[in-house]
Amino acid sequence: METAIFAGGCFWCMVQPFDSQPGIDSVDTGGHTKNPTYEDVKAHTTGHTEAVKITFDPDIISYTELVNIYWHQTDPTDAMGQFQDRGDNYRPVIFVNGPEQRRIAEASKRALHVSERFSKPIVTAIEDAKPFYPAEARHQRFYKNNPVVFAEQEAGGRVDFIAEQWADAPKVD
């Protein structure tokens, strides 16, 4: 098993697209500040970036496929948040575990830029992975455990953006 770590706005919204893929063992919400509370993170004082840590079987689903799913969930032109979620704790980042993940992530970012799918520059950061600290239990699988609040969160523009920007791309199940 391998891991991938992605940040793309509220971590609640980043679980579902990966959670249903074959070869995914787990998708955990959290980030890179040692054991903050959710209230600490929302105060924008921790330097924390909300992220998901995906444990996957590379024989079933590749890191390249995971990066592709990631792009389809975020606005890679918005460095200071995603949709209604504003601030550095919601910034888009691909956290890489080693040189091979970095090579794949950087090549994918270049390909997205060259595609001219977006009129603004691709600003998603690619950074080395840091220790990952899982979020409190109430934030794990939020989309399943709190469907009403999750739907309200998704109504903040992510769904419409994905439909508009990726309508001609293969669907991510």
**Which of the residues are catalytic?**
10
Strands (E), 97-166: 125-128, 133-134
Distance CA 58, CA 20 (A): 15
Distance CA 15, CA 10 (A): 10
Distance CA 162, CA 109 (A): 17
Spatial contact of 134 and 51, defined as CB atoms under 8 Å apart? no
Distance CA 23, CA 2 (A): 11
The pair phi, psi for residue 134, each rounded to 5°, is -60, 145
* 35 SS3 class: coil
Q: Which amino acid is at 155?
A: A
* 24 SS3 class: strand
